[in-house]
Amino acid sequence: MKGWNGRILRVDLTKGMAAAEEYSKDFAKRFVGGRGFAVKLLWDELAPGVDPLSPANMLIFATGPLTGHVIPNSGKMVVAAKSPLTGGYGDGNLGSWASVNLRKAGLDAIVVTGRSEKPVYLHVENDEYTINDASDLWGLDSFQAEAKLKEKHGRAAGVLLIGPSGENLCRVSTVVSQEGRAGGRPGMGAVMGSKNLKAVVIRGTKALSAHDIDELNRLGKEGFDVILEKQNYKWWKRQGTMAILEWCQEAETLPTHNFREGVFDEADAINGYSMENATVKQKGCPNCNMTCGNVVLNVDGAESELDYENVAMLGSNIGIGDLKQIATLNRMCDELGLDTIGAGACIAFAMEASEKGLIDHKISWSDYEGSKTLLEDLAYMRGLGATLGLGTTAAAEKIGGGASDFTIQVKGLECSAYDCHLCPGMALSFGTSPIGAHHKDAWVISWEISSGTRTEYNPEKADKVIEFQRIRGGMFESLVTCRFPWIELGFELDHYPVYFKAATGVETSLDELWELGDRIYALIRAFWVREYGDAWGRLMDYPPKRWFDEPTTQGSLAGSSLDREKYDGLLQAYYDKRGWDDRGIPTKATMKKLALSSEAAELAKHVELR
Ligand code: PTT
Ligand code: SF4
């Protein structure tokens, strides 16, 4: 099995055991890596109905056959588990030296189960696996803890860890790395905390195996050169993802005041141009010459790595128009291990609940000091933070008084930063994303707006969502590499089957990679349906109520809202194209076509398959 290491490290924290085990060729062939591995492992081994914060849940770190090789942007990994925020499949993708080290330690994935009695960290040093005491790290923020671990294990080690928010089981916690990389929005940090696992430290020094390593290295070098030549490269290096902010303001999709509006009066002060003037350095993931982490100084003069999502959710969406203040909130999230999107959504929700008199806690729009306090409270699950830290959906249920009407989420995961009052295609993308409302799988909004069809609900939008889900959610999440070379610079997709062949020796085509994406999507959907049983229904694939019922009031598009009936038609078109029935469940025939017959038989035990 050249290209794959063929080994998964199994860690049982209850028993204090860690051992590598081999996996089959069939597993590699059918599920390739990353998200494909994660969902198959969760499907096969996690009993339905398990409490996501119980020892039985599986925390999975998974790379793919391209991860770690010296080819464009290959320093990524998937972190996955059953989500404590949504109750369904959850994952995220982060860049870290841990990805490269994991592969060089001769592993492709780590699966952690159980719960240690006291705080520990896992240390992987090539073929040696130890579970070490982490009492002195517990309670430290992620920057402090990572520094201590690197002091002990060397700067070359890769570290994945949680901050206090993961320790306190706050559901909007991620896994973090390298002071600014974060992954696993659907509460993967809380799953790690529930296991009393503060960190995973990985050092691998072996040579990576490949079918033809010389050819792969040659192709990789060529690929890095192609990237440097791309027309958009210089612009990308100036603003990275922050250029989206000025574009969103222009297109009136910049989430403002808890997604009531799509325009923000102070957008100019927090956009990519303002950031350019303030940037002090750039950082990024391993094996990347696009380094998109733009670092600015916050109110206290400390470094903070900005991305569009962070700035929109901790800026316009809560009414803050000061880049330094946003940088402070952003750095706090990184230190505490909070997801910036989820945390921004929780603050916005609290501001609106306070405005409506539904909670005693006083916090108004653009309240910077109040936002800082609330972030701390979220991470430590105290005061209002103890309620908000369950996620806005559960918090709204507790608060009552119609608070559910202004949760901006799908399936319990808070929406990333695109207001869709007038973007039905992007709303469908949020609705059908496999982890809840995340833009990562199908960022169709720029296509939808530039094609001049934003008022339309035509079935081509369902095609576009599926096309992007195959590429982004299937191929990139399984190979596993960063998708930015393709989506941001137009680095050609044809490179990937060629890399795959050189890495594994397996001939594949883009069409076959799309089929892989469809298989992964069907199995993730099966996972959700098995968990939800009779409670599952097509309403689970609906975007937030606000976008239907409360039109925008500002900007040139004031009065915009989604149409429920037309959205439902678009959703049906999506189901038809995917071969899913009108409940959004893959049919028997679809499962068979995707080589998922045994999985279909298991699903049929829980729900009628048509
Ligand atoms: C991702 C989500 C995003 S999406 C952002 S900004 W983005 C937020 N970043 C956070 C952060 O930072 N700190 C923090 N405490 N919380 C954060 N939450 C938010 O998390 C990220 C880049 C980005 S920046 C994006 S789009 C791309 N995502 C990729 C992906 O999903 N797959 C893939 N194959 N390649 C990708 N490349 C890009 O990676 P989640 P990172 Mg992230 C400060 O994890 O859970 O998917 O949520 O990993 O290493 O930070 O790189 O405008
Ligand atoms: Fe990481 Fe950004 Fe490079 Fe992608 S483009 S690999 S997210 S630094």
pLDDT tens-digit readout, 174-229: 999 999 899 999 999 999 999 999 999 999 999 999 999 999 999 999 999 999 99
Q: Residues 187, 90: contact at Cβ < 8 Å?
A: yes
Q: Which amino acid is at 84?
A: P
> In the prediction, which pLDDT does 442 show?
96
CA–centroid distance, residue 599 to ligand 1 (Å): 31
C-alpha dihedral (399, 403, 409, 413), degrees to nearest 10: 0
Mean pLDDT for 382-405 is 98
Q: What are phi and psi of 267, to 5 degrees?
A: -55, -40
Q: What are phi and psi of 85, to 5 degrees?
A: -90, -35
In 3D space, the residue among 514, 528, 507 whose CA is nearest the CA of residue 586 turns out to be 528
pLDDT at residue 605 above 90? yes
Per-residue burial over 480-489, b if 16 or more Cβ lie within 10 Å, else e, is: bbbbbbbebb
In the chain, CATH 1.10.569.10 sits at 245-412
Q: Residues 335, 359: contact at Cβ < 8 Å?
A: no
pLDDT tens-digit readout, 511-523: 999 999 999 999 9
CA–centroid distance, residue 291 to ligand 2 (Å): 5
CA–centroid distance, residue 183 to ligand 1 (Å): 6
Q: Residues 594, 515: contact at Cβ < 8 Å?
A: yes
Q: Residues 13, 114: contact at Cβ < 8 Å?
A: yes
Coil/strand/helix, residue 139: coil
- Token code pair at residue 86: 């949504």
53 confidence band (pLDDT: 50, 70, 90): very high
**Which helix (H) or strand (E) segment is 197 a member of?**
strand 197-203
Q: State how far the Cα of 208 lies from the Cα of 65, in Å rounded to an integer.
A: 10
pLDDT tens-digit readout, 355-364: 999 999 999 9
> In the prediction, which pLDDT does 167 show?
98
Coil/strand/helix, residue 219: helix
Question: What phi-psi label fits residue 352: left (phi over 0), alpha (psi between -120 and 50 degrees) or beta?
Answer: alpha
- Token code pair at residue 440: 């990562």
* Helices 34-45/510-532 angle, 10° precision: 30
Give the closest ligand to the alpha carbon of residue 74: 2
In 3D space, the residue among 362, 322, 365 whose CA is nearest the CA of residue 344 turns out to be 365
Coil/strand/helix, residue 149: helix
Q: State how far the Cα of 180 lies from the Cα of 486, in Å rounded to an integer.
A: 22
Determine if ligand 2 sits within 6 Å of the CB of residue 182.
no
Residues with CB under 6 A from ligand 1: 76, 92-95, 174, 180-185, 241, 285, 305, 307-310, 333-334, 338-341, 440, 476-477, 482-484
pLDDT at residue 568 above 90? yes
The CATH classification number of 424-603 equals: 1.10.599.10
Mean predicted lDDT score pLDDT of the chain: 98
- Token code pair at residue 32: 């390739």
Determine if ligand 2 sits within 6 Å of the CB of residue 290.
yes
Determine if ligand 2 sits within 6 Å of the CB of residue 291.
yes
Q: For a substitution probing ligand 2, which of 74, 237, 285, 486 has the most ligand atoms within 8 Å of its CB?
A: 285
Q: State how far the Cα of 28 lies from the Cα of 14, in Å rounded to an integer.
A: 28
Looking only at the bridges linking them, the beta strands covering 89-95 and 128-133 are: unpaired
Q: For a substitution probing ligand 2, which of 63, 73, 487 has the most ligand atoms within 8 Å of its CB?
A: 73
> In the prediction, which pLDDT does 383 show?
97
- Residue 543 has, within 13 A of its CA and on its CB side, a CA count of 33
In the chain, CATH 3.60.9.10 sits at 7-203
Coil/strand/helix, residue 125: strand
Ligand 2 atom closest to the CA of 485, numbered from 1? 5
CATH T-level fold of 7-203:
Aldehyde Ferredoxin Oxidoreductase;  A, domain 1 (3.60.9)
Q: Residues 181, 165: contact at Cβ < 8 Å?
A: no
> In the prediction, which pLDDT does 108 show?
98
**What are the strands, taking DSSP E only, across 250-340?**
281-283, 293-297, 303-306
* Cβ neighbours around 589 below 10 Å, total: 12
∠ CA 564-567-573, rounded to 5°: 145
> In the prediction, which pLDDT does 1 show?
81
| CA dist 554 → 37, 130, 558 (Å) | 45, 57, 5
Q: For a substitution probing ligand 2, which of 482, 483, 487 has the most ligand atoms within 8 Å of its CB?
A: 482
Q: Which CATH class is domain 245-412?
A: mainly alpha
Nearest CA to ligand 2 atom 6: 73
Nearest CA to ligand 2 atom 1: 285
∠ CA 42-45-47, rounded to 5°: 90
Q: Residues 178, 203: contact at Cβ < 8 Å?
A: no
CA–centroid distance, residue 224 to ligand 2 (Å): 13
Q: For a substitution probing ligand 1, which of 67, 174, 435, 499 has the most ligand atoms within 8 Å of its CB?
A: 174
pTM of the model: 0.98
> In the prediction, which pLDDT does 404 show?
98
Contacts for 473 with CB less than 8 Å, ≥ 6 apart: 35, 433, 434, 440, 441, 442, 517, 520, 521
Q: Residues 74, 167: contact at Cβ < 8 Å?
A: no
In the chain, CATH 1.10.599.10 sits at 424-603
* Helices 510-532/495-504 angle, 10° precision: 90
* Cβ neighbours around 300 below 10 Å, total: 10
Nearest CA to ligand 1 atom 35: 482
